[in-house]
Amino acid sequence: MAFFLLTVMVLFVLWLGSKILAKAGHHQAWVLCLLIPVVNIIMIWIFAFAHWPNLKPGVKQDL
């Protein structure tokens, strides 16, 4: 039962991440980096401070 719940939770997080990446204008396959320990934390920081291609012109991007 615990394995099933863990699988559902992981799939849910991957689905949410792919939606966020799609809205940001990045390829959704980058969400697979969440499955790799240490790389997942590094990639979250990179995407948080990177330029988002779908950001509307005139909107200030705070860094």
pLDDT confidence tier of residue 62, bands split at 50, 70 and 90:
low
CB 30 within 8 A of CB 21: yes
Give a yes or no: residue 62 inside a domain.
Answer: no
Give a yes or no: residue 41 inside a domain.
Answer: yes
* CA–CA gap between residue 21 and residue 23 (Å, rounded): 5
pLDDT digits (tens, 9 = 90+) for 3-43: 999 999 999 999 999 999 998 889 999 999 999 999 999 99
Give a yes or no: residue 58 inside a domain.
Answer: no
Give a yes or no: residue 57 inside a domain.
Answer: no
More confident residue, 62 or 37: 37
Give a yes or no: residue 31 inside a domain.
Answer: yes
Q: Which token pair is 47? A: 């995407």
* CA–CA gap between residue 23 and residue 25 (Å, rounded): 5
Give a yes or no: residue 12 inside a domain.
Answer: yes
Domain count of the fold of the chain = 1
* CA–CA gap between residue 61 and residue 63 (Å, rounded): 6
Give a yes or no: residue 56 inside a domain.
Answer: no
* CA–CA gap between residue 42 and residue 50 (Å, rounded): 12
Domain holding 29, by residue range, is: 2-49
